[in-house]
Amino acid sequence: MATNSEILREVNLQLLDGNNVKKTKSYNDIDLNKWKDYEEIETGTLWNFNSRAKGAGHKLEYHGNYIPQIATQLYTRFTKPGDVILDMFLGSGTSAIEAANMNRKCIGVEIKPELANYVQGRINDEFKTNGVKVISGNSASKVIVPKIERALKAYDKEKAQLLILHPPYADIIKFSNLNEDLSNCSTTEAFIEKFGEVAQNGYDCLEKGRYAALIIGDKYTKGELIPLSFLCMQKMSEIGFQTKSIIVKNIEGNEKAKGKTANLWRYRALAGGFYIFKHEYVVLFKKK
C-alpha cells in the first residue's frame, strides 16, 4: 500500500487562472479536485459492458479483438494526450483506433504481415494521422525491440507510456500458421514461456513508473481449467512488474454468434461438471 507521501509525490499541482489549483496525477489529466464529475470512469474491479462500442472506426471484424471500452478506460486513467501506447499483440487494431480517437500515439506489433499492412492502411485512410505505427514482426523476439525504439524516436519518446498485452488465449483460436504465433504453442508451458518473452520486451520499452494492462481469459482442456490469466500474471511478476489490480470483465460484448450455440454449451456444462466462462480479466501492473 502506497503511503500518503508517496501518493503526494505523484500528484501534479497546477496553478490556473483565478488562482484555482488543478490537482492531477503525473500520468493523466483527471482533476482530483473534481473527482465526483468523472462518473464515466470505472474505479471498481467489476466491469460490465453489455455490448461492444461501435462507430468511431471500431467494428467487430476480427475474432478475438477486445472491446474499445477497455482501451477508453485505460487511456483515460493512465495516459495523457500525446502519450504513446505500445500494444504487443495489435491484431485488428482496437488499441490503435482508440489512440487516434483520443489524441494518443500508438505503436503496435502484429505477427501477421497481411494484417499489419491492413491495419496501417486503414488507420492512414480513415484517420489521416501519422500517430499510429504498425510493426510487422514477432513480439517475442529481441529483434523487435530496436524496431520499437525507432518508432518511439519518431515520436520524440525514449519509452512508451502504457503497455497493452492481449495475447491469444493459448490455442483456443489459431490465428495463423506461423510457428512463432503464440496460438500455435504445443503446450501451456511453452505458451507461458513465449508470453514471458513478449512481456519482457514490453517491460524494456515501457517508461519507469508507468502502467501495463494484461487482457486475458482462461481455458478448458481435457476436462481441466487452465488458469492462463494467473499463469501470465505470475510471469509478469517474475519479470519485475508490480501487480496493481485484477479487474473482472464480462465477455458478452466481444463474443461473436455465440447465441447459436448457447444451449449446446449449457448442456455441455451440465454434463461435464464445469461452468461456462462469462468473464475475462484486465490485470493492471506498474513498472517499478
The domain ranges of the chain are 1-39, 40-287
* Half-sphere exposure in the Cβ direction for 108 (13 Å, CA): 32
CA dihedral 45, 217, 121, 126 (to 10 degrees): -40
Range name among 60-74, 147-161, 196-210 with the lowest pLDDT average: 60-74
Top pLDDT among 23 and 256 is at 23
| Contacts (Cβ under 8 Å, ≥6 apart) of 147 | 135, 137
Contact 27, 211 (CB under 8 A): yes
162: DSSP letter: E
Contact 60, 256 (CB under 8 A): yes
User: Domain spanning 40-287: which CATH class is it, in words?
Assistant: alpha beta
Arithmetic mean of pLDDT over the chain: 90
For residue 144, give the C-alpha cell: 523487435
Res 19: pLDDT: 59
The H or E element that residue 201 is part of is helix 188-204
Range name among 47-56, 160-169, 195-204 with the lowest pLDDT average: 47-56
Kindly give the pairing relationship between strand 241-250 and strand 279-287: antiparallel
For residue 182, give the C-alpha cell: 503464440
Q: Average the pLDDT over 28-40 and give the result.
A: 96
| Contacts (Cβ under 8 Å, ≥6 apart) of 223 | 272, 274
Say how far apart CA 67 and CA 117 lie, in whole Å: 21
Say how far apart CA 95 and CA 161 lie, in whole Å: 13
Instruction: Give the pLDDT confidence of 227-252 residue by residue, as tens digits.
Output: 999 999 999 999 999 999 999 999 86
Range name among 10-19, 131-140, 204-213 with the lowest pLDDT average: 10-19
Q: Evaluate if residue 30 carries a pLDDT over 70.
A: yes
Range name among 2-16, 67-81, 140-154, 209-223 with the lowest pLDDT average: 2-16
* Half-sphere exposure in the Cβ direction for 203 (13 Å, CA): 19
| Contacts (Cβ under 8 Å, ≥6 apart) of 49 | 67, 69, 249, 250, 252, 253
Res 197: pLDDT: 98
Res 243: pLDDT: 98
pTM (2 decimals)?
A: 0.90
Instruction: Give the pLDDT confidence of 173-220 residue by residue, as tens digits.
Output: 898 999 999 999 999 999 999 999 999 999 999 999 999 999 999 999
Res 2: pLDDT: 57
